[in-house]
Amino acid sequence: MGVEYEHYLVPEDPTFKPAAEPLSRLLNALYEGGYVNGSDARGLGGATFGLFSPEYAAALEAGCLVNLGPDEYATFPIPCSVAEVEALGDRDFRLLWTVGDLVESGLKYPLSKVAYEETYYNLEVHVARDYVNHLSSIIEPFEHRAACQCGQLLEFHEGSPVGTNDRGDFARPVFGDTRIHRFCPVCGVPFRPQDYTIRLRYGRTGEDLGPRPGGATYLFAVLIDCGKCYDREGPVKASEEFLDICQEATGSPLFQIGDFSGC
Ligand SMILES: [Zn+2]
């Protein structure tokens, strides 16, 4: 094991979630900007497949994948129409691209500094039905448990592991993190993550980066998962162009959170 790095872009306003139109604009802008490959989803005819299937590996190689549910993946067309994003519905989903070698891919790097020659990373776009409450060894939980004004506790777990599929594979939910109801299941009042604040820390040195209302709780995020391939001199930042593209397309100012995991 070594330390792994994940770079999150989350809306300044944690209640923000892009509708289908700005989300399709973002995906197409990432494609036109040279940050993701296009993919022709017609090849697999819309069938879903599991994480350990040959279809998964082939689809990831070919372009964009969408994770629709526990061990449920499909191809996704890039560029895409608003209708194709709308068809994903009000469920949790993650759009995934994997880059095995940045130079070979011909793509632009979304972070400000390329640290290694054979840079690899995954780029993900997360859209959640209820809040994802991302925690880690450096992102601490809220001081008080998330609760509605009526007293109802709002955290829930999707049950991890959620069991195995018919092939005996482990089936993880779309988001492995703790979840928080977007609306109170008892009285319907919306949860406001920004009423809860955590202190962010820089993972490498433990330096206090100040308060962050809402922590890393989100309905929408862009994630660059660097694995062990990141700039160890840090701090890691998104490139200005990549950040601009994401902010302009979604119409939302984005906040950057660096997360370290592993040991
Ligand atoms: Zn309530």
Number of domains in the chain: 1
Residue 19, domain extent: 4-261
pLDDT tens digits, 30-84: 999 999 998 876 544 568 888 888 888 888 887 899 999 988 999 999 999 999 9
* Higher-pLDDT residue of 11, 56: 11
pLDDT tens digits, 190-224: 999 999 999 998 888 888 999 999 999 999 999 99
**Is 177 within 8 Å of 135 (Cβ atoms)?**
yes
What is the pTM assigned to this prediction? Answer: 0.93
Q: Percentage of the chain surpassing pLDDT 90?
A: 70
Strands (E), 100-143: 121-133
Instruction: State the distance from the centre of ligand 1 to the C-alpha of 62, rounded, in angstroms.
Output: 45
What six digits make up the tokens of 12? 């300044």
Q: What is the DSSP letter of 253?
A: -
Instruction: State the distance from the centre of ligand 1 to the C-alpha of 183, rounded, in angstroms.
Output: 8
Instruction: State the distance from the centre of ligand 1 to the C-alpha of 175, rounded, in angstroms.
Output: 24
**Residues whose Cβ atom is located within 5 A of ion ligand 1:** 148, 150, 152, 184, 186-187, 189
pLDDT tens digits, 98-110: 999 999 999 999 9
What six digits make up the tokens of 195? 């009423």
Instruction: State the distance from the centre of ligand 1 to the C-alpha of 93, rounded, in angstroms.
Output: 26
- The maximal CA–CA distance of the chain, rounded, in angstroms, is 55
**Is 178 within 8 Å of 135 (Cβ atoms)?**
yes
Cis peptide before 54 (omega within 30 of 0): no
Instruction: State the distance from the centre of ligand 1 to the C-alpha of 178, rounded, in angstroms.
Output: 19
